[in-house]
Structure 1
Amino acid sequence: MTLLTRRAWLAGLPPAAGAAVMAAGILSVGLDLLGHEALSLAALALAVVLWCVLAADFTTRLLHDRGRFRTEADTPAALTAVAATTVLGARLATLGLQTLAAVLLALAAALWPGLLTAVVLHWRRRMPGAAFLVCVATQGLAVLAAVLAAEGRGDWLAWAALAASCLGLLLYAAALVRFDFREVAGGAGDHWVAGGALAISALAGSKLTASAVWTGGAHSALRTVTLVALALSLVWYAVLLAAELRHPRAQYDIRRWATVFPLGMTATACLSAAQPTGVDLLRPLGEVLLWIAVGAWLLTLVAMAAARRALSPH
């Protein structure tokens, strides 16, 4: 592929490409929880590179192509910019890079209100699975804030995380009533976000449950919400997997990265929730689900490469 062709391909990437950053980032988090440091760092490096490429493209459109920027900002996929930034920040925080993670939290928080408002104002009936990104982006803020609070950045971040998590659950309900359930059988990949949004809600809940800020009844309530959200995400996982087997969709679509992310997020939520909730069976379940997510990531990468070769001039 020539340099000119490569630049044209990058310039043509839609906002949905942000799900590729989210997928690599959450796999890095999950692999770290299992102690696979080398693989985790490799996934993180890929996520960082992809994030930088997409951030540069985002900035270019904002400064030089405002018409396209406004059009794309109205779509739910635009919120992958917020979600990808928070997932990346959460992993960097675990490496001791709390200051950088805090900068990413501030950036994501600055982007979130405008993008969320634009998306919600353009909601309609029978939305695709990307509609649940309103929840994912909001819960991403909750996860990163809770992680930084646990790293000693202030209890106020834990309270902010709780507020964001509660709002995320409300946004999930709002998206659910607009979701076109026919997407389960015919969606191009982002229909998996219906379950992934609950998984990241459970991940946020697990981080809040592990916090020393809440004790007694508040801790018990957070634990219950975490387990309910996780259980519902696993139900979605089973339903969506059965639908994939019943209605195979083998052709590559960029929205397939929005399938990999929920797979990795569900696995990571199980791994993260095991200790604070006291449900030990979640860890082996999370380990199995994580390797399934890694396999899905590899398959999607191969499918993407094949699709690019098919489109490249010979």
Structure 2
Amino acid sequence: MPAAARALKPVEGASPPWWHELLRELSPAYFGLVMATGIVSLASNMMDYPQLARALFVLNVIQYAVLWLVYLLRACLFPRRFFGDMIDHARGPGYFTVVAATGILASQSILLHEGLLMGFGLWWLAVILCVGLTYTIFTTFTVKKEKPPLDKGISGAWLLAVVATQALAVSGALLAARIGQPFRLELNLVALSMWLWGGMLYIWMMSLIFYRYTFFPFSPGDLSPPYWINMGAMAISTLAGSLLIQNAPHAPYLVSLLPFLRGFTVFYWATGTWWIPMLLVLGIWRHVFQRFPFSYDPLYWGAIFPLGMYAASTWQMNRAMGFDFLGFLPVTFLYVAWFGWLVTFIAMVRRLLRLVRRRGAPA
């Protein structure tokens, strides 16, 4: 164990610091904060709010750095819990938020900071994290002896693997549009491959999730915020497809695939759009008819991200496909994403302050 981590260990016989329990129970999906902030920033920049976009970018860099420190500290102090969560069917997919967050931050760096080197470095980090987590988590899920039943083991959080893959496609396509040879063709091919890989994962996972929806008992507590990733995974797939269409003039093989790219991009967007009324109806059922209480949960960032992503992806699809008649949708969803992000951020800060006051007060 590193010396810094040993120094933070409580003295034997003494009660551990109040924050140890918070760190031990930290959600693996907390990088959803960076995902949500990043996409709201990118969507704001697309729709001519550059100052807000840059302010959120600065905030996101800080959040990303702090979360890395917190998670590294958790891995040092509570390695069994940290790696145990990684191979848990319910919590493990939450780790894919670090991949998606890194890819989103890479896209912010490219578009808002014009930092190609920073964006390229973050993209490579996201690739390494994606490959490592994908084959660690899903290999373990396959070979472990004790497995939960389907209704206990799968949720919308599994689709974070799709979001992570498509975040690499998005940042890769943005890099490919801004660099020359010898890497432009290769990056476009990687982005295309990631886009196809993400689509394959969505079809596999969504089949199981929809089966769980319709053939197993469903309680209000089961409808956790990550179910909004059902839509968000399709929205980011739409964004990646739209960027590949715009990159076609620079890659001959993309030109030959344009009918396929356009068809599947609209398919992804239509599927994501279908989910929005369904999720709203289920949300009303949960909170109005079943009276499930509203309270801050880090998983709510997984619901803000799809709203911002739908705004960004629809805007880019309109640009790639000439769907000017859909121009009202990106702006509408951007406003909704702003409101949702602000409410959730205030709730997060209030929760943290309340915990600090409660746990830090002398007995």
Tell whether the structures are fold-level matches, with TM greater than 0.5: yes
1:274 aligns with 2:304: no
CA–CA distance in 1 between the matches of 2:255 and 2:175? 23
1:90 aligns with 2:107: yes
Greater mean deviation of Cα atoms: 29-38 or 231-240: 231-240
| Residue 50 of structure 1, CA deviation | 1.0
Of 302, 305, 310 in structure 2, the residue corresponding to residue 258 of structure 1 is 302
1:226 aligns with 2:239: no
Cα root mean square deviation, aligned: 2.2
| Residue 178 of structure 1, CA deviation | 2.5
Q: How far does the alpha carbon of each residue in 1:71-117 deviate from its partner, in whole angstroms, 9 at most, with x for none?
A: 13220000111000000101111131011000001111111112112
Aligned to 1:13: 26
Q: Given the two structures, how large is their TM-score scaled by the length of structure 1?
A: 0.92
Equivalent residues in 2 for 1:241-256 (5 A)? 241-248=280-287, 249=292, 250-256=294-300
Q: How far does the alpha carbon of each residue in 1:250-292 deviate from its partner, in whole angstroms, 9 at most, with x for none?
A: 2221111100011111111111111111111333211110110
The alpha-carbon distance between structure 1 residues 176 and 246, as it changes in their structure 2 partners (threshold 3 A), is same
Of 67, 74, 83 in structure 1, the residue corresponding to residue 80 of structure 2 is 67
- 2:244–2:254 Cα contact (<8 Å) kept: no
| SS of corresponding position for 1:13 | coil
Letter in 1 for 2:66: V
The alpha-carbon distance between structure 1 residues 16 and 215, as it changes in their structure 2 partners (threshold 3 A), is closer
CA–CA distance in 1 between the matches of 2:68 and 2:21? 16
Structure 1 residues without counterparts, runs of 5 or longer: none
1:81 aligns with 2:133: no
CA–CA distance in 1 between the matches of 2:131 and 2:220? 29
Q: How many pairs were matched up?
A: 311
CA–CA distance in 1 between the matches of 2:110 and 2:349? 32
| Residue 68 of structure 1, CA deviation | 2.7
| SS of corresponding position for 1:17 | coil
- 1:11–1:57 Cα contact (<8 Å) kept: no
- 2:229–2:303 Cα contact (<8 Å) kept: yes
Greater mean deviation of Cα atoms: 232-241 or 59-68: 59-68
| Residue 307 of structure 1, CA deviation | 3.2
Q: How far does the alpha carbon of each residue in 1:106-162 deviate from its partner, in whole angstroms, 9 at most, with x for none?
A: 111111112112332327623111000111111111111111001125121000000
1:23 aligns with 2:36: yes
Q: Given the two structures, how large is their TM-score scaled by the length of structure 2?
A: 0.80
- 1:184–1:240 Cα contact (<8 Å) kept: no
Letter in 1 for 2:95: A
Letter in 2 for 1:148: L
Letter in 1 for 2:126: A
Of 112, 115, 121 in structure 1, the residue corresponding to residue 133 of structure 2 is 115
The alpha-carbon distance between structure 1 residues 102 and 216, as it changes in their structure 2 partners (threshold 3 A), is closer
1:292 aligns with 2:336: yes
The alpha-carbon distance between structure 1 residues 223 and 185, as it changes in their structure 2 partners (threshold 3 A), is farther
